[in-house]
Structure 1
């Protein structure tokens, strides 16, 4: 079933970039990011990301009037078990992603990362407000051509990382793909496909990029600090919304997270709902 008609944002609604607790009942985001300015919430609400349809694709970008703040494009409908397929074309750098089982009123949910930036992951996972875990199989950087422009993705050099690839991150995954196979199939500055399978009360979520397995996580058996499978399942519920993301520029990364004038693009968004006994 198509979720985007190629002409309008019917079936979706925009929401400002918001933060909340780091896990259900846990402390707020300022525990992890005390450097956020005191007027962050007011500015984020006043200057949310923009979403528009351009040449048959959804484009998301920061507010040109005051860049640095993000937002979400949230599905009106919620979904339980499904396979989601779409095509994506993010600029470099652009920190975006696809949220699953998202609550309608907050940032909480599981995010499939499309962090097309230095130290980023494409196809890994982040637990938005459900433990803030970072489960990724590899991290990426960009190679530059002779004119200094980015020309292709590469596996990041650990010595230059802005966000270290620690052993616990791939250890959270039940399956992880090969970075070289991923790089061989990724088309820089072109369209790439993303397929996501999400099944279960405490779902197992699997991702493929251009039909190459990237990662799989089992939220029923995941054991990391501040994550409780039963508590999160009750908090998120059996179904949730989808959301596309435009990240904000936090003090840590600045425009390395979202370049000035950068856009993310999405098209051919379709879902197959699965009816399982899980």
Structure 2
């Protein structure tokens, strides 16, 4: 049997968090060899006290800040570790909810390759970020919410560059070997509905490809990636050949406050399954 013909195996039973565990969203060095966080700081100590609130509701994993509106998040990690694989799941985030899916992740959760699900102002969905391995930001568009006549978010739109809080500089799309346009993403995304992600991870320094609702959004070869703080060999040494899969509930910060994660926001994941390659 060819590896691409192997069946997908569920890694979430739809009823419990068996096979998963929560950890705090602790600050880490931006890259191997960079200065680490002050572990005695108030921010670090407060972050260490919560791992987010993770529940199962209507056959979906639901992640929230704990307590709601606290400004501190967490990660939910798979107990299992995986090297080369294809991961498929559906996600449904509230607005605003700054989350993501990390692969080849260490036991901390804060170190690995992140596929972005930044469902908030100036966010990106389907691009990639280097958590604790250089802070590279491979994206090709940023988003904001359309609003109805009452000011309530009602859909996504491409962000006006003059209003962004995270400028789209030329180096960001240059990190990607393939990048869908913002218009292609918007045509695929379903507001306030379930959206299917397919993430393929393959190689010692992995090539990562992301499809959303059957549309290819991004691809990155991390062996060839060039970024001031990213070193492929150092990342391999830190992460190893296999790592956890992690879902994220983001912290808030002084710059964005609850525009990053709303006081009552949640993100939901369901039908999570994997095929090892």
User: What are the superposed Cα offsets for residues 112-142 of structure 1, whole Å, 9 maximum, x if unpaired?
Assistant: 0100001101010110010011111211111
Deviation (angstroms), 1:263: 0.3
The equivalent residue for 1:184 is 187
- RMSD across aligned C-alpha pairs, in angstroms? 1.5
1:232 to 225, 235, 238: 235
Contact map agreement 2:25 2:109 (CA 8 A) in 1: no
The equivalent residue for 1:266 is 269
What is the correspondence of 1:1-278 to structure 2 with a 5 Å cutoff? 1-29=9-37, 38-64=41-67, 67-105=70-108, 107-274=110-277
CA distance in 1 between partners of 2:140 and 2:272 (Å): 25
SS at match of 2:11: coil
Quick one: structure 1 residues 89 and 12, their matched pair in 2 at CA, closer, same or farther if it must change by over 3 Å? same
Deviation (angstroms), 1:64: 2.5
Contact map agreement 2:23 2:109 (CA 8 A) in 1: no
CA distance in 2 between partners of 1:37 and 1:192 (Å): 40
Quick one: structure 1 residues 66 and 185, their matched pair in 2 at CA, closer, same or farther if it must change by over 3 Å? closer
Deviation (angstroms), 1:180: 1.1
Contact map agreement 1:4 1:269 (CA 8 A) in 2: yes
Deviation (angstroms), 1:17: 0.8
CA distance in 2 between partners of 1:86 and 1:158 (Å): 31
CA distance in 2 between partners of 1:37 and 1:252 (Å): 23
CA distance in 1 between partners of 2:134 and 2:184 (Å): 30
User: What are the superposed Cα offsets for residues 206-238 of structure 1, whole Å, 9 maximum, x if unpaired?
Assistant: 101111111111100001101111121122111
Quick one: structure 1 residues 90 and 106, their matched pair in 2 at CA, closer, same or farther if it must change by over 3 Å? closer
Quick one: structure 1 residues 17 and 142, their matched pair in 2 at CA, closer, same or farther if it must change by over 3 Å? same
Contact map agreement 2:69 2:263 (CA 8 A) in 1: no
CA distance in 2 between partners of 1:21 and 1:59 (Å): 28
Contact map agreement 1:64 1:261 (CA 8 A) in 2: no
SS at match of 1:79: coil
Quick one: structure 1 residues 90 and 72, their matched pair in 2 at CA, closer, same or farther if it must change by over 3 Å? same
Contact map agreement 1:22 1:29 (CA 8 A) in 2: no
CA distance in 1 between partners of 2:109 and 2:11 (Å): 22
Give the number of equivalent residue pairs.
Answer: 269
Deviation (angstroms), 1:29: 4.9
CA distance in 2 between partners of 1:151 and 1:84 (Å): 29
The alignment's TM-score, normalised by the length of structure 1, stands at 0.94
Consecutive unaligned residues in structure 2, runs of 5 or more: 1-8
The alignment's TM-score, normalised by the length of structure 2, stands at 0.94
CA distance in 2 between partners of 1:100 and 1:124 (Å): 13
User: What are the superposed Cα offsets for residues 133-165 of structure 1, whole Å, 9 maximum, x if unpaired?
Assistant: 111121111110111111111111000001111
CA distance in 1 between partners of 2:36 and 2:139 (Å): 24
